[in-house]
Amino acid sequence: MPQNQATRRSTKAAPTRAEQAHSRAAWHPSKDCRSISDILTTRYMRQADAGLIRYEKYQLRYAILEERLRAFEPKALVALRPDHRDLVHLVDAQLAHVARSWSTLIDTLAEEGSLFAPGLDGYCSSKLDVYLLDSLDTLYELDTDCAHVFPDYDSLFGDEVAGCHCHLCNASTEAKMRLKMCAVEFHGDLDKHFFCRVFRDLAVEIESGPQA
């Protein structure tokens, strides 16, 4: 990563050269995922500018989400299945919510350069990524339900990544442990139930957190 990128201020001691080298080795993606540089959990990683996000086994692009949001026609779907009016409107609202959250992340990255904690280049220590992941989880559930109801529905989650065996797509036990430690360190101040939901793929919990 460029050395002049802005990072958030921290009161922690600066990492040693050995720690920095270990961090780069742990997070640097292989050639199979060369466009991915930042990771939050094993099911959420993204490009440095957040233009592309790897969610679960899908690649999502912000530009495509914008197109999808403009092309989405709730009235046409409701006309086909009036009994699923609520589902259609929930999908429409969640698409807009994800677009806003994703746009905020992109704009913030453009202004600040990066959102890394010192010494952990490549880990998503910003809450913006956490909230976007939670929004994507909700959208994925609604989008899947809509695809089951409407045979011709064009799912947003259609660009599936297959056949990749890099260490980002197949995280080692050590890498998962580091992600767990980072989740607790940087996001352990979240509500306990919210934290456990977002980081469920890491099977990590916190003792307590602020009440929602």
Q: Using a cut of 0.85, tell me whether the model's pTM lies above it.
A: no
Q: Vertex 13, ends 130 and 176: CA angle to 5°?
A: 40
Q: What is the pLDDT along the chain (212 residues), one digit of tens a residue?
A: 444 443 343 344 444 444 443 443 344 444 447 778 899 999 999 998 999 999 998 999 999 999 988 988 899 999 999 999 999 999 999 999 999 999 999 999 998 876 666 556 688 989 999 999 999 999 999 999 999 999 888 888 988 876 677 777 778 889 899 999 999 999 999 999 999 999 999 988 777 655 44
- For residue 41, report the phi and psi dihedrals to the nearest 5 degrees: -140, 180
Domain coordinates of the chain in residue numbers? 18-202
- Residues with Cβ within 8 Å of 111's Cβ and at least 6 positions away in sequence, in order, are none
